[in-house]
Structure 1
Amino acid sequence: MALFDLDHTLLPIDSDYTWGEFTQQIGWTDPVEFKRRNDEFYAHYVAGTLDVHDYVRFAVEALRERGPEAYREAHARFMDEWIAPRLRAAALDLVRAHQQAGDLVAIVTATNELVTRPIAAAFGVPELIAVELERDASGWITGEIAGVPSMREGKVVRVTKWLAGRGLDWLDVESTFYSDSLNDLPLLEHVDHPVATNPDARLRTIALERGWRILDLFERE
C-alpha cells in the first residue's frame, strides 16, 4: 500500500491555500481581508495549531454561497491555470510506479474533497481520503465537516476505516507513506516505510534522526 500526502508532497504548492488565492483573483472573496485570514490560518497549519473546523468554514464559505454549478466552472479553470502547470513529472512517475507494481494507492490529504478530488484524478488516483464536507437536503455543502477530518491523528483513523472497508487491517498490508509535513507525523509513525518527501525543516530533522528515507522530488513553491 502506498499512501501520498498531496500538498508540497505530490504538488509543489498547498492546493487549499492556492484555491483561496484563486478565489481572490476571480472576485469571490475580499482581496485584503481574505488574504489576511488565509495567511493566518496557513501559519497555524504550519505550526501544527490549526483548528480545522474553523478553517474549513472559512475556506468553503464562498463556494457554499455560489453553489455547485459555479464551483464546477471555477474549479475547471483552477485546474487549467493553477494546477496543471504544477503537475511535476517526478511526482506523476512515482505514483505510476506504485500503481504498476500492483500497490494499493491512495492520496490522503487534509484539504477538502471539493478542492482535491479533481487533482487526485489528474494524478490518476481514484482513491482519495480527504476532508469530507457535510451536505444539506439539496446535496450541497453546509460549511461543516462530515465525520473525522483527515488531519494529523485523523489520517490514521481515516486510513484504518478505509482499509476496513476493503476487509483489511494494517497487519494485512506493507505500508508506505510519503509526506512533507510534521502535521503528518502520526501517520508517518504508523506505516512500515515512512518517506519524508520534500520535507519541511522540522520533518527533515526528525527523518535524519530516525533514519527515515528522505526524497526530494522538486522544490517547494
Structure 2
Amino acid sequence: MNLALFDLDNTLLRGDSDHAWGEFICERGAVNRAEYEARNNEFYEHYKAGTLDNAAFLRFVMAPLAAIPRAQLDALHAEFMQSRIAGMMLPQGQALVRKHLDAGDLVAIVTATNAFITAPIVRAFGVSHCIATIPAQENGRFTGEPRGLPAFKEGKITRVNTWLESLALNLQSFDKTWFYSDSLNDLPLLSLVTNPVAVDPDPTLRAHAEKSGWSVISLR
C-alpha cells in the first residue's frame, strides 16, 4: 500500500478556500466588511510570503465562527460550496486524487485551513481523511480558538504522524509516499516523503524543487 497526501488551497483548488471564505462572509454581511476584508487580505499576503503569524491569523479567522450561530454558519457554508468552491475545484486535481484512490492508496488532504471550512471540500473530492486545523467547540458552538496543534508548516508533520499512528501505521509503513503542494510553507512535509511534488508552485518552492530534483507539475 502507498500513501498520497495532498495540500488543498492552490493545489487541488484554484485559489485559497480560507481567503475565499473571508471574502464570502464579507459579501453576505456576516462580518463588518470594512474591518474584516483588509485584514483578510493582509494575512493572505503574509501567508504567501511565508511570514504569517499563524496564532494571530487563527484568532482572526475563527472569531466569526464563535460569533455567528451554528445554523447560520452551516447555511452560509452550503451556499459557499455552491457559489465559490464548486468553481475552484480543479478537474485535473480531482482526476489525480481519483487515480490514487483507484490504485488503492491511502489518501488524505492535509491543510492548514480550519476543518469547518475544509471538511466538506475534502468530502467533495471523495476523500475520507481530512487533516486540518481544528476549531474548538463547546456545547455545539465554536469557541473561536483552535484545538490542539494547527496543521501548519512543521505542524503538518506532527498531525500526519499522529493520524498514521491512530491507524497503527507510520511513514515507513509504505513503499511510496507522495505529498502534493504549491506552497513554500509545506517544505517540511515535502522533504519527508519519497515523492515530493510541487504543484503550480510559488517561486520559493519552485526553486527548491528544481534544485532538489523534485517533480513539478501543473493541475491548471
Fold-level similarity (TM above 0.5): yes
CA offset digits 1:106-162 (Å, max 9, x no partner): 0000000000011001101110000011122x1221111111110000000000001
Deviation at 1:198, TM superposition (A): 1.0
Aligned to 1:139: 140
CA offset digits 1:48-98 (Å, max 9, x no partner): 221222212211222211121011100000000001122221011000000
SS of structure 2 residue aligned to 1:75:
helix
The counterpart of 1:179, out of the listed 167, 174, 181, is: 181
SS of structure 2 residue aligned to 1:214:
strand
Aligned to 1:163: 164
The counterpart of 1:49, out of the listed 45, 48, 51, is: 51
Contact 1:131 1:145 in 2 (8 A): yes
Structure 1: tracts of 5 or more residues without a match = none
d(CA) in 2 for partners of 1:97, 1:28: 39
Amino acid at match of 2:59: R
Aligned to 1:81: 83
Aligned to 1:19: 21
SS of structure 1 residue aligned to 2:45:
helix
Amino acid at match of 2:171: W
d(CA) in 2 for partners of 1:69, 1:55: 24
Aligned to 1:120: 122
Give the length in aligned residue pairs.
217
Deviation at 1:18, TM superposition (A): 0.4
Deviates more, 1:36-45 or 1:90-99: 36-45
User: Percent sequence identity over matched residues?
Assistant: 47
Contact 1:53 1:145 in 2 (8 A): no
CA offset digits 1:163-198 (Å, max 9, x no partner): 000001111112100000000000000111100011
Aligned to 1:151: 152
Q: How well do the aligned residues superpose, as a CA RMSD in angstroms?
A: 0.9
Structure 2: tracts of 5 or more residues without a match = none
Aligned to 2:193: 191
